[in-house]
Structure 1
């Protein structure tokens, strides 16, 4: 897994033998704020993970007290003076990174250990599942610095997760959403006890890894693709193709044989 684990300047990656890869945003002195270098490394990491068949799940968390406070404000002063073409290149670089994270072929679990603001909120939304510590807090802070919540997929993902009314209130006010409210809204799957968010994410990843690798991957593809399909009939067509392909795998044959023999299946990703 040499390509998956780096080396990186802004990330720390731990690849376990179980197939679970833990990605830690590693700028704790800056609240793990995002930079151009971090966006490039996130993009490269996502591509390396997707290309590595041994990876079964990805965990994302932040070093120190924050998950990710968004784009590093140390660079914000330069933005108004940037030309349109230069700024668009920066924006697209960031968008490519988050799109690549969302497009990772295996499940991505965000272990939100602290503040997730702006681009940090967007990164958590790009994950498939979000677990939060009691200290976690979420903030669509864009409007507070004269920008739009139409950034890094936030305006597409947030209303689909919590509904348009709640998304409108949170993005228009720019207020902080504490962990318990985030859980009520469905912004996070659940809040776990203090100090246990990464352990809870690992336990969930292990549950996922116990299942058919191809079944999980095709399930993720169906969930994401059907968010963008405009009809029930089209969704059924996509599901039918995926399910039919999976019946041709050795893992499906193993699962049916294990059921008949009343034993746990041994999945090999084949």
Structure 2
């Protein structure tokens, strides 16, 4: 998709707002704790893919309405139909859900998850796939796939979660499917910050605005390297970072930062 205009974007299956160079995605089926459907999975995937072509968007906040983040796949609209599908249909579905994670990781903008209440299944995966995670004390997070007879290996969980909280902790959560508290999540490094429920939206927005005011080309490079270097030996990673940093040194933002430092001023970054 090219020419994506966040100011006119109007999705069908979630809420979207754009202000101060920050896009806010709100899962908004609060009466069901914001579960995902086949359609919302696909529309979210397409949005994050489109953000590659949206330089006006410099950061993204993902949150849920009504005091919950996301309860995962809708039991009636997804789980029930899955029990009647053929293997090719099932594989098409699981690849599609995995594509949402790829799209979230692949967009250059930092993604901030603002989590309150239930954050389960695919909701926990969306939080995991974000770059930064804020939670309220009421957040209850669970990779609950084994509790419905499935593997903990879902949408990249076995690859990504151990890199956030460690292999042993990830294994315990993915085998048991148990929920963990915001305090435990912050202690383990899953959540970057725990804040009061009435402050969650404001703190997530403020953090996203801070990112949006930074050197966004360089932020995109940082995100790319964080993704790419998982599979690189240290020697190759250091060389990749040397090349990435040399590219950033050619940007106008780098020059702006130098002149601002010399003038004892705060740099104003433009993302170029």
Same fold (TM > 0.5): yes
Q: Distance in 2 between matches of 1:32 and 1:98?
A: 18
1:197-236 → structure 2 map (5 Å cutoff): 197-229=200-232, 231-236=233-238
Aligned to 2:64: 62
Looking at structure 2, the residues matched to 47 and 4 of structure 1 have their Cα atoms a distance apart, in angstroms, of 17
Q: Distance in 2 between matches of 1:222 and 1:33?
A: 32
2-structure distance, mates of 1:255, 1:64: 41
Q: Distance in 1 between matches of 2:182 and 2:262?
A: 44
Aligned 8 A contact 1:5 1:15 in 2: no
Equivalent in 99, 124, 127 of residue 124 of structure 1: 127
Matched, 1:164 2:167: yes
Match of 1:32 in 2: 34
The CA distance in 1 between the partners of 2:115 and 2:102, in whole Å, is 19
SS at match of 1:196: helix
Q: Check 1:38–1:4 CA distance in 2 against 1; reply closer, same or farther (3 A cut).
A: farther
Other-structure match for 1:253: 255
Q: 1:125 deviation in Å?
A: 0.5
Q: Across the two proteins, how many residue pairs are aligned to each other?
A: 268
Cα pair 1:25 1:63 within 8 Å, conserved: yes
Task: Kindly provide the CA deviation profile for residues 128-163 of structure 1, in whole angstroms up to 9, marking residues without a partner as x.
Answer: 010001111111110111001100111111111111
Q: 1:237-270 CA deviation, whole Å, 9 max, x = no partner? A: 1100111011111111111111111112222222
Name the CA shift for 1:223/1:63 in 2 (closer, same or farther; >3 Å): same
Alpha-carbon distance in 2 for matches of 1:123, 1:41: 14
1:22 to 18, 21, 24: 24
In structure 2, what is the Cα distance between the partners aligned to 1:4 and 1:79? 36
Q: Unpaired runs of 5+ in structure 2? A: none
Hey, what does 2:265 align to over in structure 1? 263
What corresponds to 2:153 in structure 1?
A: 150
Residues of 2 paired with 1:199 and 1:183: CA distance?
19
**Within 2, Cα distance between the matches of 1:253 and 1:2?**
29
Contact 2:108 2:219 in 1 (8 A): no
- Structure 1 stretch displaced more, 244-253 or 207-216: 207-216
Task: Report the TM-score when normalising by structure 1.
Answer: 0.95
2:197 is aligned, of 194, 207, 229, to 194
**Per the alignment, in what secondary structure is the counterpart of residue 69 of structure 2?**
coil
Contact conserved, 1:4 with 1:49, CA < 8 A, in 2? no
- Cα deviation for residue 48 of structure 1 reads 2.2
Cα distance, 1:211–1:7 mapped onto 2, change above 3 Å = closer
For 2:47, the equivalent position in structure 1 comes to 45
1:81 to 81, 84, 94: 84
CA 5–176 in structure 1, closer or farther in 2 if over 3 Å, else same: farther
1:138/1:177 contact within 8 Å kept: yes
* Structure 1 spans left out of the alignment, 5+ residues: none
The answer on whether the counterparts of 1:136 and 1:179 sit within 8 Å (CA) in structure 2 is: yes
SS of equivalent to 2:25: strand
